[in-house]
Amino acid sequence: MRVMHYLRALRGIVVRELFRFVQQRERFVSALVRPLLWLFIFAAGFRSTLGVAIIPPYETYVLYEVYITPGLLGMVQLFNGMQSSLSMVYDREMGSMKTLLVSPLPRWYLLTCKLLAGVLVSVLQAYAFLGIAWLYGVEAPPLGYLTVLPALVLSGLMLGALGLLLSSFIRQLENFAGVMNFVIFPMFFLSTALYPLWKIQESSELLYTLARYNPFSQAVELIRFALYRQFDPAAGLYTAASLLVFLIAAIIGYNPSRGMMQRKGGATP
């Protein structure tokens, strides 16, 4: 296989994902409605409770809306990762996934291309949310909108790889909603998306430990620091390591000779 075959496959998968995204306008709207409701309603209700706090990387007093904006960016990417895995399950049921995976290109490369296509959509949704938040008055430093891009890509890859891994376990489309809720809500609420770690620790040491080692927490902190022109090395390494673990597990899961589908007695996707 030549390099142009790999590039052509990447282009085809990305264009297909973008075309699907453009056609499914309700997917774009729903991806923004959830975090915007949290920003407009939840944050306003909790401002009087949490008030303001000195929290890195802000190094000053910040409004609650400012604090949770990176967490809501993570929410956008988390839901997009799950939506991408839903499309994988749907494509497998419809047969188009089988057509893709039986091509001469390596299976790991095709899955990675699918992951990259999903991340591109995720980043577009994240910047759309940042634009609406800016109109609402939640602003980051101008340069922060550029420095946050690598963090959005890395966190999007990690959450997309998690969704890819889940799709290797799910055999029927009807089972997806339950599995998605089982993953999304614990990851989101047991994280630093809504409250800082010190606030969680005041409530429970167990919840503090779970939130601290939650990969989603690390992705949110990576975004939070990057949005304010800083870099959190621990969060970056943790997110990158989680990406590798999830992606390798997903590739194994889609391997018909060693994956979960083979052990379950299922057919090759």
pLDDT tens for each residue of 31-62: 788 888 888 887 766 654 444 455 678 766 67
Q: Do residues 240 and 257 lie in contact, with contact meaning Cβ atoms separated by under 8 Å?
A: no
What is the model's pLDDT at position 268? 42
Which range marks the domain in which residue 34 is found?
Answer: 3-256
| Token pair for 132 | 């609406």
* Assigned domain for 68 exists: yes
* Assigned domain for 269 exists: no
* Assigned domain for 175 exists: yes
**Considering its fold, how many domains does the chain have in total?**
1
What is the model's pLDDT at position 260? 46
pLDDT tens for each residue of 70-95: 999 999 999 888 887 777 777 666 66
Residue 138, SS3 per DSSP: coil
What is the model's pLDDT at position 81? 85
What is the model's pLDDT at position 175? 66
pTM score: 0.86
* Assigned domain for 110 exists: yes
Phi, psi of 62 (to 5 degrees): -130, 150
* Assigned domain for 262 exists: no
Q: 60, 74, 55: which is closest to 162 by C-alpha?
A: 74
The residues, any chain, with a CB within 8 Å of residue 122's CB and separated by 6 or more, are 76, 77, 80, 81, 152, 156, 159, 160
Crossing angle of helices 3-23/25-37, nearest 10°? Answer: 70
170-27-111 Cα angle (round to 5): 45
Please give the distance of CA 76 from its chain centroid, rounded to a whole number.
Answer: 7
Low-confidence stretches of the chain (pLDDT beneath 70): 1, 27, 44-55, 59-61, 91-99, 101, 171-177, 256-269
* Assigned domain for 176 exists: yes
* Assigned domain for 261 exists: no
* Assigned domain for 155 exists: yes
**Pure H helices in 95-143:** 96-101, 107-136
